[in-house]
Amino acid sequence: MDNSEVLVAIGILFLAGLLLDKIGRIVHVPRVTLLILLGAIIGPPVMDLLPHSFNESNEFYAPTALTMVAFLLGGTLNPDTLKTHGREIMIISLTLVAVSVVIVATGLWLIGLPVGIAILLGGLSAATDPAATHDVVTQTGAKGRFATNLLGIVAIDDAWGLLAFSMALTFAGILMDQDAAMALAHGAREVGGAVLLGLAIGLPAAYLTGRIKPGEPILIEAIGLVFLCSGLALHFGFSFLLTGMVCGTTIVNFARHHERPFYEIERIEWPFMLLFFVMAGASLKTGNLAEIGYICAAYCVLRAIARLVGGWAGGRLAGLPQLESRMTGLGLMPQAGVAIGMALVASERFPEIGEDLLGVAVASTIAFEIIGPFLTQIALRRTSAD
């Protein structure tokens, strides 16, 4: 790997990110969308200007960036938030995941896809994008119950999504005559291991962080926890996103000697996120899109419908006002790289359908990452204007 090319590319992208942030504020376009478009334009899909060695670096900063986001979102599930909004967050997130899986899987099966593939894509549809949602909320400066609910939902619905996807893997394994016990064990290991690892790191960290400098953890403590979570989760094959969420939630709920355990992470996360979003745009592969185009289109339409229906149903069950119920699904349209990660796991388990699954996951993720932040922004503005 040519380190000089990677460093130059990162430097240029950081400066380009500053420019795009300014442009986004002027034209009212989410910077997440602009960064993904930038990645698609300068990456392999269009101009292919990024050094090929740059892709190898993504294995480091993508998990790091998402673990940082997981910490921050886990930190939103503090005692005050859970007491005030916990019931709403739980009801809406569980409803969204269930509705997404059922509508997408059923719809794809009805248009002729094998039931195993339909179930796997239904499991993929439950994934949201904590990073994009968090960034849009931060960029718009939105406050209040609706914004808090969005952040709380994306903080935990990927956990439900992972559980749903693990179940989808098990059912698909049974339908495709694979070892059901092995499929179930893999899902339980990924989710259960992430929860245990998050607790194992979070419980001592809740007591130890912020002791050197009274009041708040110092930067090296925050970075150390991020690297521990992402590194150990990757090493053991657990979900680093779920590990970070559990660890963050544990710290914010058990650390009584400081109020903002993630302040230092907030200050340094954006450079990692910038690279992550650019690489999301650059990861699109157009080779088999022509063959699976109708599957991608059907998946995107079905997932959009499922988001709207699930958000509305969950909001009504939770007792939210009519407008907030209608806007909830709209605000949760982005789909993150975690869906691509799920597709990679599925493709390793079922190599005969792996290429198609990855194609749908990557293409739909790019589509929802481009359109989703716009819709999140609209939902936040509509609810704040009411």
Q: Domain limits at 142? A: 59-385
Q: What pTM, to 2 d.p., does this model score?
A: 0.73
Residue 179 lies in a domain: yes
Predicted pLDDT at 212 = 63
Cα separation, 59 vs 35, in Å, equals 19
Residue 39 lies in a domain: no
- Contact assessment for residue 121 and residue 104, using Cβ atoms and an 8 Å cutoff: yes
Predicted pLDDT at 147 = 86
Residue 29 lies in a domain: no
- Is residue 215 pLDDT above 60, yes or no? no
- Contact assessment for residue 94 and residue 160, using Cβ atoms and an 8 Å cutoff: yes
pLDDT tens figures, 126-162: 888 877 788 888 877 878 888 888 888 887 777 777 7
Cα separation, 373 vs 285, in Å, equals 22
- Contact assessment for residue 94 and residue 126, using Cβ atoms and an 8 Å cutoff: no
Cα separation, 102 vs 114, in Å, equals 15
Cα separation, 49 vs 16, in Å, equals 14
Give the residue among 196, 249, 240 at the shortest CA–CA distance from 65: 240
* Mean of per-residue pLDDT scores for the chain: 81
* Average of per-residue pLDDT across 103-115: 92
Give the residue among 168, 5, 151, 24 at the shortest CA–CA distance from 84: 151
pLDDT tens figures, 286-327: 666 667 888 999 999 999 999 999 999 999 998 888 999 999
Residue 44 lies in a domain: no
Cα separation, 310 vs 94, in Å, equals 9
Q: Between residues 294 and 265, which one has the greater pLDDT?
A: 294
Residue 42 lies in a domain: no
* Average of per-residue pLDDT across 105-124: 91
Cα separation, 342 vs 348, in Å, equals 10
CATH number reported for the structural domain that contains residue 330 in this entry: 1.20.1530.20
Residue 122 lies in a domain: yes
Per-residue confidence at 163, pLDDT binned at 50, 70, 90?
A: confident
Cα separation, 62 vs 55, in Å, equals 11
Residue 224 lies in a domain: yes
Predicted pLDDT at 210 = 64
Angle between helices 263-282 and 354-385 (to 10 degrees): 130
Residue 41 lies in a domain: no
Count, residues in the chain: 386
Number of domains in the chain: 1
